[in-house]
Chains A and B, each alone.
Chain A
């Protein structure tokens, strides 16, 4: 089967990989690039566990054909911390116990980052709607919403 050569910038680094054209960007990231932080929960864009930033837009990587990413800039959860220093969202998720099993956490962190990039002072309702594309079955969302509120506050104060 034909494999296409795809050139991207992932988490700040230039990364080349080969993938079949019909392969999802999610599977390419996981199988070809070795970044398994984004998870497949559904494969149909309904759970958000595979969320990445694709050219700064939050996207379900399971709904992107790998070749579409050619020339794109990608951020995955692995690129969220800066040289080992956690992003405030990561720190607030830890401190606020905003995860239980943790499978949805990478997607929530990315979606929350996309929200705060756009809206640094969201209301609780705005947070809940912005995260509605991310399913969590463990927490009931309470501590996740609170962690995003806390991170937003810290980031505004910085």
Chain B
């Protein structure tokens, strides 16, 4: 089902052909991060801290260095001191997270690394590195970290965003606040006020491919890096910064990437691999084990969130008060800022106060994860909305419709919304048969909505017309979920040639212009816009060449259906392959670049309804039916729009029901495996039904909005609301495991 405001009659955009990189991926040919082998290549292994918080007293590498076959051993002292160099605080954090200097701040923090001729030798050598620690008291949660007299991770951390600035350091990196109106007045106008407190645990992005990097350093100071990342330009910049070298000395080639969801926008192994390769004089491959991925990369924040909201009897939200604290992990930078901006942004609420804290603790530094910050915030607010709807006896969709942000609504984070499709997603759910399907015993239905900004940022593209009239479309955006297909579809639409005649390529850092990370649901919008621009430059050039051929003015030439046509039909059309074949005579090869800082970012909304069945005797929740409606603006590649929607929902189901970081009291992660970090498996799920809503983004040539992230925002609240509907109990602590559900049911029956 697609709701389309207009049907522009596209030939390629909106179709479902086979993806260009698909064949390599179903035959095992695609080269992912760990698949490259170079002649003479060594295997590296990283030495990690077993402690959550400790001072490094000494590192003895002599035993490891003396082992036969060990070619390099490095520690933090092999990297420049960015503090002394006066680097930006963020660059210092990136550097110290890549390899610890005087202190380790979480279990898994890198302290040293080795390279040896075999995998087994590297592992043995890593074990032989002797590190002596002075263990320090640690803090694992926002509660512990914000407590009076809590042990400090960073002795100089003064909370930002507080006026006047505190005179004592703390683990609170910053405070954010958004407010409007008069809370007292707002709550005074409410007939019903609901106040709840929510907690969520850190969860991992859970990409199936562990981080991997191969580095090959030359003696002249240059180095090549192959790695799996969401942005090889970002990897180049951060690696150069950690190594203290110029970016120009590094060339980064993007391997196929085996999932990222935000977690591969940051460096981990790359600078280590380069330094090992420099020391050893040979290529070095570093690949993380799964337990390293869990202990030292990702996750997103654990949180505590308090929400108080008021509603009038006719369903108008009158006021909202939100307090939230987000774990940042070892270094400042949790997504609490985005959480504060999104938490109530989907609704028009006259009086509100949103306050948030970014809190460091002794866990891995959080990394972006699909709409970072928004899902936890939505879990809290959308759960409270459900309570409000129940209190006043209103349908939960109707409550949201009565307060939904529309074009012109002053968003809680500041500006007015442009044309958005929130209402349309709500209506799509309400009209779908799932919404009124009969529920069985022990089943319940929950609704929730979500909002995410999406991003624009910088992208580059090059379009080459080959001699036979086919085109190569070169971009710098690693393809994480089918973006090569959407690039090819837009290029085919622009150039008027078949999709199959387009070869989309992700090029290395020396072959295409700078491009920001594949993140923020921005690639189809921003890199797509660069591709469209480059195609349009090519078309201008083609028109000029046809004009030259026909000896007419260029305004006499139109580009239609892949060929140049004279406006009055006085010349036989010139096809792209004809023009390409003779390009040498008309000015040389046909090629164009476009680079841009994208504009016209369109906000994304998703509304979801889920049906669950709860076993009242074991507390097990099974999802029996799921429907998601999302405003895609325009679905360039509907297959992969649905894929993003379904993938986001299922990650949210995992977050809602089972996924969590479990730490023991020493700060060691107890479940760093896919066995005990329970991501959804196929048998846990029903089909995820999709309803692509298309409210075109007026600021984009094809109406594109980002589609990648918002799908993960509603599921946790949808599940919680469905559990409430099925059982009468409200779960406020994620994940909503069978243990917690049964406890709540026991309390209810007491």
Contacts and interface: CB of A to CB of B under 8 A. Distances in A.
Contacts of B290: 41-44, 47
B745 interface: no
A49 B647 CA distance: 18
Contacts of A41: 208-210, 258, 290, 674
Nearest to B35: A36
Give the interface centre of A104, A129, A137, A141 by most chain B CB atoms within 10 Å.
A137
- Chain B interface mostly: loop
Contacts of B680: 140-141
Given A40-B210, A102-B25, A132-B683, A95 B647 contact: no
Contacts of B679: 135, 137
Given A76-B28, A94-B19, A100-B482, A138 B683 contact: no
Interface size class of A (residues with CB under 8 A): 35 or more
A59 to B, nearest CB: 16
A33 B673 CA distance: 28
Interface stretch (B129-137, B531-539, B638-646): B638-646
Interface in B659-711: 673-675, 679-683, 685, 687-688
Contacts of B257: 101
Contact of B682 (A34, A78, A132): A132
B111 to A, nearest CB: 22
Contacts of B31: 36
Contacts of B596: none
Given A39-B209, A49-B208, A143-B646, A102 B683 contact: no
Given A39-B34, A101-B258, A129 B683 contact: yes
B208 A143 contact: no
Given A39-B258, A100-B640, A137-B206, A132 B481 contact: no
Interface in A101-143: 101-106, 109, 124-125, 127-129, 131-143
A44 B208 contact: no
Contacts, number: 187
A139 B646 contact: yes
B480 interface: yes
Interface in B267-320: 287, 289-290
B177 interface: no
B514 interface: no
A61 interface: no
B30 interface: yes
B28 A37 contact: yes
B390 interface: no
A51 B207 CA distance: 17
B2 interface: no
A143 B643 contact: yes
Interface string B6-37: 00000000001011011101111111101101
A155 interface: no
Contacts of A124: 687
B682 A128 contact: yes
A136 B685 CA distance: 12
Contacts of A4: none
B480 A39 contact: no
B553 interface: no
B259 A103 contact: yes
A105 B683 contact: no
B713 interface: no
8 contacts: A47-B290, A99-B25, A100-B480, A103-B259, A137-B259, A139-B643, A140-B647, A144-B682
